[in-house]
Structure 1
Amino acid sequence: MLRRRKEPRPSSTDQGRTDCNEDIPADDAHSYITPSKHTPKPLWLLNKTVGPGGPLRPFRLIKQDLGNLRQRYLSDWKIFNQLIVASTVYVFFTNLLPGITFASDLYVLTGKNWGAIEVVFSTGLCSIIFSLFSIQPLTILGVTGPFSVLAENIYSLCHEAFNIPFLPFMAWSLIHAGWLHYLLAIFNAHDWTMGYVTTFSTEIFSLLNSIIYFHKAIQELERAHSNLSFAAFLYAIMGAVGTMLLAIFLSTAESWKPLFHRYIRLGLSEYAAAISIILFIGLPHIGELAHLDKSTLPVSTTFQPTSPERHVFFVEFWKLPVRWIFAAIIPGIIITMLFFFDHEISSIICTIDRYKTRKPGGFAWDIILLGTTTALCGILGIPPANGLLPQAPLHSESLMHADTEEVIVEVDGQETVEFRPIRRVYEQRWSSLLHGCGILAFVSPPFMKVLGLTPTSVLAGLFLFMGEQSLSVNPILYRTFYLLTPPSELPILPTELSSPSTISATETPPRPSYMPIHLYTLLQLLITIAIFILTLTRGAPAFPVLIILLVPFRLLVMKHWFRREVLKFVDAWACKAGTPEDSGDKDENLQEKKEDQDGGNHAGVLQPRRDSSDRV
């Protein structure tokens, strides 16, 4: 019995969905002016670029996204069950706790301008706005590690070099970043930017995030060493390492079968970080440990900014001298680069094929929202939130459930319908809205006092855990292990990776060498280390520029350093199927086909021989 699988017809919810590599249909033919031979070349290029269907056609993607949002919005509110409640609690802890961890760092390195209440306020406010109005509610927003590094260096420049107030300058930087986000969305930046990003760049960016987390943990312990007694410092190290190890241990609870019931194992793994943090927050208050001095998270006891010089969440940004208003465009551009890249990658990761999303999505409208919240945070004097890379897939993973897929199969010429079990994510807005409301509630004084009980050593342990979780799924880590593995123990590579010079038509191809892959991995490691070192210098605000430059570096330079087969094996497009080298394969196939046709057309005809003088 021969069974041939047919692709199911797209449902009505799939028809509005588009990917970054799909062509957008042109508008009404009557609105299109066809260039003629008399049209000047500049006008012809302009019409081709901004005309209907052109890559820079203003508002093209925004119009498409608004249509998709209208199509899916009501259905996003119709799903609510126990799994969504569990996901809400899980995302609440994985977003709030890292946020207050960054708050501890920002409190010290921004001269007390930003603290726990600012970070919590920003995370809750932006999460609620995106849960209500974004086109992709699975994306989780919060204050990120790369922006914390950027903000700390901007404060250092304002305080030590420029001698100007930090918050007004940052407010203008974020306002400039806001309208720059608008421009990127209006002119369809997703199509002509993220369409060229490969995993080479995203893996480096993810590794950089992991290193930043580890570095933040070390900074917290360094401050504990300076401010605490030796005994308290030793316990701070134990608290940090213990928080990390217990969280890692509990996160593997699903594999403890047959120990405990399935739901108990699932709960332990989902709430691993929360259980570990709560335990090590309470442990120092028991027995002799209660007499140790400890460094805790500084918080506000009233609904007021952290800085004693401020009384309301509002920045008088117009009082900044005009020359510094224009100078703030430079950090505004850098923040735009960082946020655009970070948020787009987060949105892509939480909707990959593994999660079987069906509803239409988009990117341009969310960039409009991101620009709005970024400028709003600048005016309020709080750090802006954007898409979180580690938390983005965690949200989708927590919403995975069993479902069935309708598949049409053909058996002996008869088409039948089968329902096959699959796992799919719940596409809804409740978990984003409820976790955002829960985080925003912590700006109230009673909840702030609860946050104030958190030792900074526990926050350092959370940094270590987040870094480990992010690093453990990075392909760079596994390829780094290959560097330390004896060649005889390495997996066998495909034969097409063999060097052409070692392949003979009469002999069996030799085993491909791992050397090109090792060199590729070492290049990624060296680039990541170089960017991280830059974040420790005065040039740290420019590190997002280097991350963006990795895109043309990969497409234009690396093809001259590595063979096409190697790049196809280790790299791929970030938001569409295939690799950059696929286009080269197509060109070669077309050339071979053309040569075959030419050979057939001129069969039996003696062709003149071309010597070296005939070559161009």
Structure 2
Amino acid sequence: MYTYLYNFAKGKQALGQHLFLAWAGWVCTWTALLLFLLAIFNACVVINRFTRIAGETFGMLIAVLFIQEAVKGLVSEFKVPKNDDPNKAKYQFQWLYANGLLAIAFSFGLLYTALKSRKARSWWFGTARFRNFVADYGVPLMVVMWTALSFSVPSKVPSDVPRRLFSPLLWESESAYHWTVIKDMGKVSPTYIFAAFIPALMIAGLYFFDHSVASQLAQQKEFNLKNPSAYHYDILLLGFMTLLCGLLGLPPSNGVLPQSPMHTKSLAVLKKQFIRKKLVASAKESIKQKASNSEIYNKMQTVFIEIDSSPITTAVVKELKDLQDAVMKVEEDTKLGKFDPEEHIDAHLPVRVNEQRVSNLLQSLLLAASITAMPLIKLIPTSLLWGYFAYMAIDSLPGNQFWERILLLFVPSGRRYKVLEKVHASFVESVPFRSIAIFTIFQIMYFLVCYGVTWIPIAGILFPVPFFLLISIRQHILPKLFQLHHLRELDAAEYEEIAGSPSRAPSLNLREMDSGYGGSNEGEVTMCDAEILDELTTSRGELKVRNLSFREDRRTQQIYHGDYIQPE
């Protein structure tokens, strides 16, 4: 967005380079005002109208733009930067060529090692603690490693080969003009002050979409959070941050990182592990005393109520009833044998989030502390930035159902059964391949429209508009093209991922009719329950409790489609 603003300003004599930050300050002022109005009038409730197709298309656009910037950055390593003296020694042909080759080596090296480090938990070597550390922090470690490697270049090479990041601080001489932004804002003509409202509208729309969707997913009601959601409060604070950054001549800051659903889920896992540990210890103690299953449950219930500080609501009562059923069912079912707390209670533990503000506060403090690390950050080669852009784009693709459906289109019909043998989304089995293909092709075409808008020189600033149009398209057009139960599967949030079984052989042929499944006999399917926290969500991205196994759910779907056959 700031690139569009700069390209617009530099071509205007009334703005130019000197008044660009002042004009951007007016853009941020208008943006802050719009964010204030969104918060005051509770406009954030509209975010519930956005479905998966909007979020995934937006995510794909960001990934493609990151790849695009990475390619442009690599190409620029072979060129003389703008507004620099081409007669300098470091810009001689041989040194430009050497800088470009080093950039390719460093960027692809960072990309490869960063992607490998993310899979460290599946390595065969190293302790579990070491593998977890590499998987969590391997990417910044790879940046440090490749930065250190960049200093192994022979001393005969010019000091600026490879090129390194340039980022002056506010109090340095190169940034002196930042402190004159407020004064220069008065020099901007009224025409351009009011014209700044148009890009401000787009930035406010981006923030509304990006920040609210992330906040919504991080504060789902099925997480059973004790503290209420604060979407409007967040937007209000974001308005103040945008105004402050604009007056300082900085690009506005967006606080979506603390709102990450991954952050909430990690806290939920911690709380669930804590509850599990206490319940298992209680059950084992009761088993040692040769207590009956009902006595085991009574003890576990007491421990559960002591640990869980949530009020006794209908949901809590249901959770306790599910836990009781899990304990008592073992006693009734001789096939399950003796009750084992390590094995039989996992699927019935409640979702609880260890609510705290420490990690959010630390994230903000570390971001502020990074200012003091600027002398170290300036040592990083620019080529690592391009590799990191490519890494973020590629790393965002797994889990994006849009991307997975695109890959499915290129799987030959005779090989589609391989998809079912691996972990896969349930829509693969519950939606005919013809519907999957048509929906994916429509989404690809719409994505190309969104991407094409970004290439329009000045009007490219309007690229958020197509995403808001998706609200009407999803509500009024798509339901006429697809069956509603298929649309709910394809345009919902993440559905359960299921460990496939090689014994299944349903058809995924394009000619498949709307039966929804290639096999009709339930006995052909060997499934396991997939009641995992990160894998159960509703059409709005909310977690849901699912007591049926997928086998039972498949029978329900077959009845729904009218093709259920009683198993032998």
The answer to whether TM tops 0.5 is yes
Q: Equivalents in 2 of 1:579, 1:396: separation in Å?
A: 17
Aligned to 2:65: 212
The answer as to whether partners of 1:403 and 1:424 remain within 8 angstroms in 2 is no
- What does the per-residue CA deviation read over 1:383-430, in whole Å, with 9 as the maximum and x for residues that have no partner? 111144798245445544223274423569999x98965675542222
Quote how far apart the aligned CAs of 1:276 are. 0.7
Equivalent of 1:173, from 5, 12, 27? 27
Q: Equivalents in 1 of 2:360, 2:194: separation in Å?
A: 36
| Superposition TM-score, scaled by structure 2 size | 0.66
1:185 aligns with 2:53: no
1:527 aligns with 2:446: yes
Aligned residues: 414
Code of the aligned partner of 1:554: R
1:403 aligns with 2:259: no
Aligned to 2:288: none
Quote how far apart the aligned CAs of 1:576 are. 8.7
Aligned to 1:448: 374
| Higher relative contact order (Cα pairs below 8 Å, separated by 6+ residues) | 1
Q: Percent of aligned pairs with the same residue?
A: 26
Q: Equivalents in 1 of 2:402, 2:189: separation in Å?
A: 46
Q: Which structure has more strand as a fraction of its residues?
A: 1
The answer as to whether partners of 1:304 and 1:312 remain within 8 angstroms in 2 is no
1:154 aligns with 2:80: no
- What does the per-residue CA deviation read over 1:74-113, in whole Å, with 9 as the maximum and x for residues that have no partner? xxxxxxxxxxxxxxxxxxxxxxxxxxxxxxxxxxxxxxxx
Q: Equivalents in 1 of 2:430, 2:212: separation in Å?
A: 39
Quote how far apart the aligned CAs of 1:326 are. 1.5
Equivalent of 1:236, from 84, 92, 103? 103
The answer as to whether partners of 1:220 and 1:460 remain within 8 angstroms in 2 is yes
Aligned to 2:141: 275
Aligned to 1:384: 252
Aligned to 1:536: 455
Code of the aligned partner of 1:474: N
**C-alpha distance 209-357 of structure 1, shift in aligned 2 (>3 A):** farther
Aligned to 2:190: 322
Following superposition of structure 1 onto structure 2, how do residues 535-574 of structure 1 map, counting pairs within 5 Å?
535-538=454-457, 539-572=459-492
Quote how far apart the aligned CAs of 1:282 are. 0.6
The answer as to whether partners of 1:303 and 1:443 remain within 8 angstroms in 2 is no
Q: Equivalents in 2 of 1:291, 1:426: separation in Å?
A: 53
Q: SS at the partner of 1:229?
A: helix
Quote how far apart the aligned CAs of 1:182 are. 1.5
The answer as to whether partners of 1:357 and 1:425 remain within 8 angstroms in 2 is yes
- What does the per-residue CA deviation read over 1:469-494, in whole Å, with 9 as the maximum and x for residues that have no partner? 1112211111011101122433599x
- Tell me whether 225-234 or 261-270 shows the greater mean CA deviation: 225-234
The answer as to whether partners of 2:114 and 2:139 remain within 8 angstroms in 1 is yes
**C-alpha distance 573-475 of structure 1, shift in aligned 2 (>3 A):** closer
Quote how far apart the aligned CAs of 1:167 are. 1.3
Q: Equivalents in 1 of 2:96, 2:327: separation in Å?
A: 81
Following superposition of structure 1 onto structure 2, how do residues 109-148 of structure 1 map, counting pairs within 5 Å?
none
Q: Equivalents in 2 of 1:187, 1:551: separation in Å?
A: 20
The answer as to whether partners of 2:118 and 2:135 remain within 8 angstroms in 1 is yes
Q: SS at the partner of 2:476?
A: helix
The answer as to whether partners of 1:304 and 1:311 remain within 8 angstroms in 2 is no
- What does the per-residue CA deviation read over 1:216-238, in whole Å, with 9 as the maximum and x for residues that have no partner? 11121111011352122112111
Q: Equivalents in 2 of 1:576, 1:250: separation in Å?
A: 29
- What does the per-residue CA deviation read over 1:415-446, in whole Å, with 9 as the maximum and x for residues that have no partner? 9x9896567554222222223222223334xx
1:471 aligns with 2:397: yes
Unpaired runs of 5+ residues, structure 1, are 1-149, 499-509, 581-616
**C-alpha distance 389-205 of structure 1, shift in aligned 2 (>3 A):** farther
**C-alpha distance 302-478 of structure 1, shift in aligned 2 (>3 A):** closer
Quote how far apart the aligned CAs of 1:209 are. 1.1
**C-alpha distance 217-394 of structure 1, shift in aligned 2 (>3 A):** farther
Q: Equivalents in 1 of 2:119, 2:358: separation in Å?
A: 27
Unpaired runs of 5+ residues, structure 2, are 81-94, 277-303, 305-318, 330-340, 421-425, 495-535, 542-568
Code of the aligned partner of 2:116: F
Aligned to 2:201: 333
User: Please, what is the CA RMSD of the aligned residues?
Assistant: 3.6
Aligned to 2:56: 203
Code of the aligned partner of 1:183: L
